[in-house]
Amino acid sequence: MDIWFLGTGAGRPTKERNVTSIALRLPDPDCALWLFDAGEATQHQFMRTPLKLNKLEALFVTHLHGDHTFGIPGLLSTRSYVGGNGPMKVFGPPGIRELVDTSLRLSGTRLDYEIAYTEIEEGIIFEDERFIVEARALEHRLPCFGYRITERDRPGKLQVEKLKELGVPEGPLYGSLKKGQDVSLPDGTVVRAAEVAGTPIKGRIVTILGDTKPCDNTVILGRDADLLVHEATFADGQQEKAHLYGHSTTVEAAEAARAAGARQLVMTHFSTRFTAEQIPALEQEAQEIFPESTAAYDLYHTSIACRQ
């Protein structure tokens, strides 16, 4: 599982940072992409990475401010041109359907695929056989959400030699056992999946928060996360201004990560007041509270390893 920070600035783009967008690449077998927010020029940022837009399957919008949404119409249009013709899931606060549909309608944009909208409330908003996505409200100037992506635990590697000893023929039965399903052999013998698989692989947790000032839900969503993405619009000592605009400081992001018991913190959404030369100092502020803190920059990429 990999995460790419396509834009890490707040409010408006600069020469150094584009506005917010984060791509999460899911693991094998499909390596599908999920995108979190799409500020203006997000599709341009895609072209600077090895990511393929036709692999994009879902868009999760934290809130409707323009620096998180103005890139959506162009992104969806380009997806059609590059062969992304499968259905597209779009999750976001009430109003996301109107925002997207109105933009596409007034611009005469036609898509070669259907959009399935989910205007979210707090709770589990998506789940399948591999992932669960939970949303909770944050504290910002517009309705805003954070997302907790939980990968389901997976069965361990099959013990092939043991399967051969038990007389399990290769083929569909191996697949059933790999999925954790017990199987019956032609002679009536029942082979238990738990007895022929290695240690289960613990699922990973990735938490991606929208804009927010400190609140309880940042810690709830980030509990035991392998990776917590938290905004850090302002520096330490600027709490009053940060809270006035519904934002957090570097130290507050680090305090949330520490309280949540997260394994790693990546900060993003930095104010345009900060130059590239000032970012290491901001990173250091957070590291003094939570050592595993990183200040993201545009196109920053990291992998989320499987838990041991």
269 is in an annotated binding site: yes
Per DSSP, the residues of the chain read -EEEEEE-BSSS--SS--B-EEEEE--TTT--EEEE---TTHHHHHTTSS--GGGEEEEE-S---HHHHTTHHHHHHHHHHTT--S-EEEEESTTHHHHHHHHHHHTT---SS-EEEEE--SEEEEE-SSEEEEEEE--SSS--EEEEEEEPPB---B-HHHHHHHTPPSSHHHHHHHTT--EE-TTSPEEPHHHHB-SPBPPPEEEEE-S--S-HHHHHHHTT-SEEEEE--B-TT-HHHHHHTT--BHHHHHHHHHHHT-S-EEEE-B-TT--GGGHHHHHHHHHTT-SSEEE--TTEEEE-PPP-
**247 carries a ligand binding annotation:** no
Q: Is 230 annotated as a binding residue?
A: no
Residue 211 marked as a ligand binder: yes
Q: Which residues contact 128 (CB under 8 A, 6 or more apart)?
A: none
Residue 68, CA distances (Å) to 44, 60, 143 in order = 15, 10, 13
- Is the Cβ–Cβ distance between 190 and 166 less than 8 Å? no
Q: Is 140 annotated as a binding residue?
A: yes
63 is in an annotated binding site: yes
Active site residues: 67
Pairwise CA distance, residues 77 & 103, whole Å: 11
To the question of whether residue 112 is assigned a binding role by annotation, the answer is: no
CA–CA dist 25, 57 (Å, integer): 10
What length does the chain have? 308
Residues annotated in a binding site: 63, 65, 67-68, 140, 211, 269
Residues annotated in a binding site for Zn(2+): 63, 65, 67-68, 140, 211, 269
